[in-house]
Amino acid sequence: MSPPAALASADGRTLGTVRDSAPGSSVLSAIGFFKLIKAGMLVALGLWALMGRHDDQTHTLAHLAHWTGAFSGRELVQRALARLLSLDVRVLHEVGVASLAYAAIFLVEGIGLLAKRTWAEWLTVGVTASFVPLEIYELGRHATPAKLAALLVNVAIVAYLARRRLDARKRA
C-alpha cells in the first residue's frame, strides 16, 4: 500500500487525501476499531482508579477489560485488577496513570490504523509483538483458553500487518 496521495487544486491547495481501498483495508479498520475499544476500557479503568472509588464498578470494569482482551495474557495486570478494592489511594493513582498511558498507545494505534497510516501499522506491529513473549510466559505458567486466544489474535495481527507492510515495500 502506498501512502495516501494528496489531491491539489490548480492553485496548489490540498483538497484532501485519497484513501486506501486496497484489499485488506477492512481488516485494518477492524484492528483499528478493536484497539479503540480496548482504549475505551482502559480510559474508563484509569479514570475510575484516579477517582479512587470502591464499589461494584471495579468488577464490571475488570470483566469488560478481560472480555475485550485488553489485559489478556498479562496475569500480573489481571491480579492487580482483582486487588483494586484493597488498594490505597496512591497505588490506585499509579494504576490509573498506567491505564491511561496504555490507553493512549491504543488510541494512537487505533486512530492511525483507521486513517490507513503506514506508521500506525508499524507501531502496532512493534507494540503488539513486544507483548507476545509475556503472553507466552503467562501461557506457560497457567494456560487458559482466554490466554491462548489472546496470544493467537496478537500473533495474527503482527503477522498480518508485518506481511502487509513488507509486501507494500516490495511493490514500491
Report DSSP state, residue 5: P
Residue 70 has pLDDT above 80, yes or no: no
Buried b (16+ CB within 10 A) or exposed e, 16-49: eeeebeeeebeebeebbebbbbbbbbbbbbbebb
36-40, 121-125, 140-144: which has the minimum mean pLDDT? 140-144
Is 159 in contact with 24 (CB distance < 8 Å)?
Answer: no
* Kind of pairing between the strands at 14-17 and 6-8: antiparallel
Q: Which tens digits make up the pLDDT trace of 9-27?
A: 445 544 434 344 555 688 9
Report DSSP state, residue 89: H
User: For position 146, what pLDDT does the model report?
Assistant: 86
Dist. CA 112–CA 144, nearest whole Å: 32
49 pLDDT tier (thresholds 50, 70, 90): confident
User: For position 110, what pLDDT does the model report?
Assistant: 96
Task: Compute the average pLDDT of residues 60-69.
Answer: 63
Distances (CA, A) of 42 to 35, 38, 163, 172: 11, 6, 29, 38
Residue 144 has pLDDT above 70, yes or no: yes
Q: Which tens digits make up the pLDDT trace of 96-118?
A: 899 999 999 999 999 999 999 99
Residue 145 has pLDDT above 50, yes or no: yes
Which cell numbers hold the place of 31? 484492528
Percentage of the chain exceeding pLDDT 70 = 65
The mean pLDDT value of the chain amounts to 79
